[in-house]
Amino acid sequence: MLAWTIYLSFLGAAMAALAPKDRPTIARWIALTTSVLGLGIGLAGILHQTNRSALQTIVDVPWIPAIHARYLLAADGISLTLVLLTGIAAVAGILFSWNITHRANQFFAFYLTLIGGVYGVFLSFDAFLFFVFYEIAIIPKYFLVAIWGSTNKEYGAMKLALYSFVGSALVLVGLIATYAHAGSPTFSLLELARQPLPTSFQVWVFPLVFVGFAILAGLWPFHTWAPTGHVAAPTAASMLLAGVVMKLGAYGALRVAMPLFPEGLAAWRDPLALLSVIGILAGAGIALIQKDFKFVVGYSSVSHMGFVLLGLMTLSVTGLSGAVLQMFSHGIIASLLFAVVGRMIYDRAHTRELSALESLQLSRALPFAAITFVLASLASMGLPGFSGFVAELQVLMGAWKTFPLYAALAGIGILIGVAYTLRVLVKAFFGQSNGTIEAATHENYAPISIPERIGALLLLGTSLLVGIYPRVLLDLILPSFETPLMKPLLKGAGL
Amino acid sequence: MPSIVNYLWLIPALPLLAAGMIALLKQRHRSLSASLSIGSLAISLGLSIAAFVPTLGPIEGGGGVKRWVHNLDWFEFGNTTLRLGWVLDPLTAAMLVMVTFVGLLIFIYSVGYMAHDENAARFFCFLSLFAAAMLGILISNSLLLLFMSWELVGLASYLLIGFWYHKPSAAAAAKKAFITTRIGDMGFLLGLLWLYGETGTLLFYDNGNGCLEQSALNRLNTLTTAGGMGVATAISLLLFCGAAGKSGQVPLHVWLPDAMEGPTPVSALIHAATMVAAGVFLIARVFPLMDVDPANVAGSSTALSVVTWVGAVTAVFAALIAVGQNDIKRILAYSTVSQLGYMMLGLGAGGVAVGMFHLLTHAFFKALLFLGAGSVIHGCHEEQDIRRMGGLRRQMPTTFLTYAIGMMALSGVPLLFSGFWSKDEILHAASVWPVSRLPFYLGLFGAVLTAFYMTRQMFFVFFGKQHLGKEAHESPTVMTIPLVILAIAAVLVGFWGTPAWPWLHAYLTGHELHLDLSALAKSATLMLISTAVVALGMISAWRLYTRKTPSSPQALDPLEAAQPAVFGVLKNRAYIDEFYEATVIRLNHLLSVTSDVLDRFLWNGLVQLVSLMAIALASVGKALDQFVINLGFDGWCGGLKQGARGFARLQNGQVQSYLRVIGLSLVALVVVLLWERRR
């Protein structure tokens, strides 16, 4: 049943593309219906999951016999968590692009293609299929940014696409080499993980595949696509970029790179943990001095994704489940932050310069946006009650055992996070008025629309639910580390 | 187990519920929101008293204190479960009653104080949120739950300090408070992680398995870190960072005086009575852990020695700065910092009961002083500079009398006032501290200063000539009644802990209580010394400020006239803010700029370089194509074309040509054939 998330999205994309160009409403409703159905299927898939500790195969048929590639879709708790995230982010993204009228049918067609590709990645257990879906997800991004973007959009789109393709190229080389080296030719992740590859081979292939994926997760110093890409992208696309696409990278690293090359991982673990911590600190530090609101959020994504990568490097259940939880949490919170900046503010005030926003006193004009952003900032700062707290706490608990120094440094990252978040919060919403301008300007702002309100409540509610009762996700995630694919990861890491 | 233990969670939950409900109300429902806050806190007070009663009875089986816990699973990861829970013991019960009682009075007072503020409903929402979080800290039986509540307290404090966010100074102060306390909290978080790593639990008490119970402490006692420091000591010091941030200990005290930008009830509730005491409470809560030290040679564990020293230094340092301030609330703020230092000193040198006694008495008289200051500010039309006041004792008699009681309690005027008894306990503990005698002398010096700056403030505000342009007025009854109740409490709570009848000490530590009048005689020397010290401070201030009365608000302070350099340093708060501005903040900024430049130029530059190289490579390829490969190709093509043209010419369609060719060919053929024949 879960496979229908993919097919429905592609079907919706086709329908949206065929919808009349001059009547955006039709395309909108097609997109919303499809994405809500996708979310519903994801939820139903979670509720009907029979055996939590096993990998559930959905489809397994030969696909390209010549290279032994199979059409193998399956799901464990990690996939389900991310499928759920994709569903929520997709629905929210459509709600926040309700005002798109320029070539709306194409916009939603690209949007749904991207979503379908993402669902496909999260459900693939065949490396070749995984790669194909991964590429499908990358291409629409370019068009979304280049056509509907703002600020320097061609540059941002091109940079985004090039980084993605460089990553893909690295992954592809690694996968082909692995295929060639494997004892019996196969692309099935489970089969590949079962065949021990020579250590010397793993040591050079692991970094190719891991970094190839981690580029998309914002691994420092390969992260610079993220801020520019986010800034250039239209609201919905930056929500998806931060909310879902960055997770593709982290997921690929966790699902493909780490289980296939355990010895390569062992060799590269320390430097990669260091890079993650540098990412946390550098991202936060840079966010602190940005002048453009969206850049602040963009860099904060780099910082928060550093926690995911650090969690992955702990190789303990605590850290790994924390990393998956952080993927989910950051997906929700970052989407919300981008929605506030891109849709609620930029579409009305037509500026994102903090110095310009400062004099607009937006908390008076747009109280709903202000409250949403206050709550989203609290979530982003990792305040208890929101999902970020439990996720980052788990990552830190896991990291403390292996990398106490890095855990401490990551703590400093959280601290800088508080500083930059409060800074933008005050500047963007609670600035000083210099007199006369705002009364007239405020009149021109359209009130916050119903789709925006629903979208904001959906995302905030999710973050609160997970923050207060993390078991809704952890009960899904934890058994996944018992499957034959993930279990060997924890070997010798304790806890 | 008393049934109230199962319902203990209601005490914080009710104000939280009230906060949530008010958040959904419209701003104009101000009286409804006030009633919701006050009502919920009143029920919490009732529940707190109900929880207090069972902790009072005699201890069954003797020894130890009464303690009940209720634990539950929050979530699990791997084979471990993260558990939360709440605890009822004398420490919790006493604090619960104090916080709900003082809180309730301040809530009532706020009705009057915020009567003219258009956002009063929001104010009560934040106040309730704060009360919920603070009460959450008190009942936590898990360091994690305590930390979570602790963060929420910080958030509520941020919201309340910045309540008047349209004032730039308030917005800045709120940010500063949140970030400064968060610096300490990072230490707290690391301590928490470490403690969890070593003991595998964050529950304080769990039937022998908690991290504050003997087995865990014994285990910690055997561990040392790389530098030879005990692991327990390291964890304790990290936790103390958090406590120091929240409780404004030097060097993290800078946020507290600025926090006075918030409405005065906030200053009273959060920055005098409750929140700032949370750090002291934390140390009292984890005291068994602080006390563990394998390298315990001097008679005090390293962690507690640090607490003592930091407390003593803070007590004197802040009192010194208070002498040079002119803002009525800032004086009280520095006084709070100083008194928090005394509490830490008491905890470190004398144990839980000593520190907690001062915490409780201070909560009452400092709340009284802040509310009194609020009443003065309200009566003087938002004037806060004490030099512009003067002679207010006639216009504001109730405020004056209650303020005088608070001032005498704070200064430690003997026998009748609570501050005397609790400060005396601290000084006594410091005088017998085995490590050093210096904290005792610092404490005495601080006491002189306290008496001095409070007398100076009293003089400026209530005596002398009136400098206020407008007519001052007494505050409404809703504001003065809490003052009177607090004034009575400021006197009475002292009698819980006199040397002759140390009720609080017995209650908190589970010892038997005896009335022992001879103990009074034993501590008579110390009491005489501290009386002399208080007298010294008050008399010198009195003489200084009556003899050289500043004639106008602009005139120099008599101290300033005598010692301009020293007074200047004090007035400018010892330049600590400027120091941080020049070091920490600049360093952080530098790092941010560096990373940004790195991003913009190095990484981006590398990317540009790679793309340039790609372009260069492409150009080479293009050149190769154009001049080498194409040349060959074109040449070959050209040859072909030439050849083709040659052949094409052969068939130009003219019959004559064809015939000519045929003829020539025939001739050639004949020639060839003949030639063949001849061979």
Residues 6 or more apart whose CB falls under 8 angstroms from that of A286 comprise A227, A299, A302, B592, B595, B596, B599
Of A390, A469, A495, the CB nearest to B78: A495
Residue A305 in this model has a pLDDT that exceeds 90: yes
Asked if residues B530 and B514 have their Cβ atoms less than 8 Å apart, the reply is: no
CA–CA separation, B395 vs B379, rounded Å? 9
The string over B472-496, giving b where at least 16 C-beta atoms fall within 10 Å of a residue's C-beta and e elsewhere, is bebbeeebbebbebbbebbbebbeb
> In this complex, which of B147, B175, B604 lies closest to A224 when CB atoms are compared?
B604
Residue A492 has pLDDT above 50, yes or no: no
A494: pLDDT strictly greater than 60 = no
More confident residue, B538 or A304: A304
Chain B residue nearest residue A364, CA to CA: B166
pLDDT at A274 over 90: yes
Residue B87, H or E segment:
strand B80-88
Q: CB–CB of A495 and B175 under 8 A?
A: no
pLDDT tens-digit readout, A119-133: 999 999 998 899 999
Does A394 lie at the interface with B, CB-CB under 8 angstroms? Answer: yes
Report d(CA B89, CA B480) in Å as an integer: 34
Q: Output B560 or B125, whichever has higher pLDDT.
A: B125
**Please, where are the H alpha helices in B493-629?**
503-509, 517-522, 524-547, 558-562, 564-571, 576-580, 586-597, 604-623
- pLDDT score, position B58: 65
| B242-261 pLDDT, tens digit each | 999 888 887 888 888 888 88
Inform me whether the C-beta atom of residue B609 falls under 8 Å from chain A C-beta atoms.
no
Query: pLDDT value at position A213?
Result: 92
Q: At what angle do helices B120-139 and B143-161 cross, to 10 degrees?
A: 160
How many C-beta atoms lie closer than 10 Å to residue A7's C-beta? 13
- Optimal mutation site among A358, A465, A495, interface B, most CBs of chain B within 10 A: A495
Looking at residue A24, its pLDDT comes to 83
Q: Which of B148, B166, B190 is closest, CB to CB, to A384?
A: B148
* Range in A368-382, B264-278, B579-593 with the lowest mean pLDDT: B579-593
CB contact under 8 A, A289 and B596: yes
For chain B, say whether A364 makes contact (Cβ under 8 Å): no
Cβ within 8 Å, pair B77-A422: no
Gyration radius (Cα) of chain A, Å: 21
Which amino acid makes up residue A489? L
Strand pairing report for B68-77 and B80-88: antiparallel
Is residue B505's pLDDT more than 70? yes
Percent of chain B with pLDDT over 90: 7
- Which of B522 and B205 is assigned the larger pLDDT? B205
Q: Do B598 and A378 touch (CB under 8 A)?
A: no
* Domain ranges (residues) in chain A: 4-492
Mean per-residue pLDDT, B330-358: 89
List the single range of A373-377, B285-289, B530-534, B658-662 with lowest mean pLDDT: B658-662
The C-alpha atoms of residue B156 and residue B130 are separated, in whole angstroms, by 5
Nearest residue of chain B to residue A290 (CA atoms): B596
Smallest Cα distance from B469 to chain A, Å = 29
H helical segments located in B327-412: 328-350, 352-379, 397-411
Percentage of chain A with pLDDT > 70? 96
The mean-pLDDT minimum among A392-396, B102-106, B169-173, B278-282 falls in B169-173
A359-381 mean pLDDT = 83
Lowest-pLDDT choice from B182-186, B279-283, B545-549: B545-549
Local confidence band at B676 (pLDDT 50, 70, 90 cut-offs): confident
Is pLDDT above 70 for A267? yes
Nearest to B155 among A383, A419, A423 (CB): A383
Q: Indicate if the pLDDT at residue A331 is higher than 90.
A: yes
pTM of the entire predicted model: 0.82
Whether A63 has its CB under 8 Å from any CB of chain B: the answer is: no
In this predicted complex, what is the ipTM?
A: 0.80
- Interior CA angle at A472 toward A467 and A473, to 5°? 85
Predicted local confidence at residue B466, as pLDDT? 73
Residue range B38-92, pLDDT digits in tens: 999 999 999 999 888 888 766 665 557 778 888 888 877 766 778 888 888 888 8
Chain B contacts in chain A segment 2-21 (CB below 8 A)? none
Question: Is B387's pLDDT higher than 60?
Answer: yes
The whole-chain average pLDDT of chain B stands at 81
Highest mean pLDDT among A262-276, A359-373, B193-207: A262-276
A405 interface with B at CB cutoff 8 Å:
no
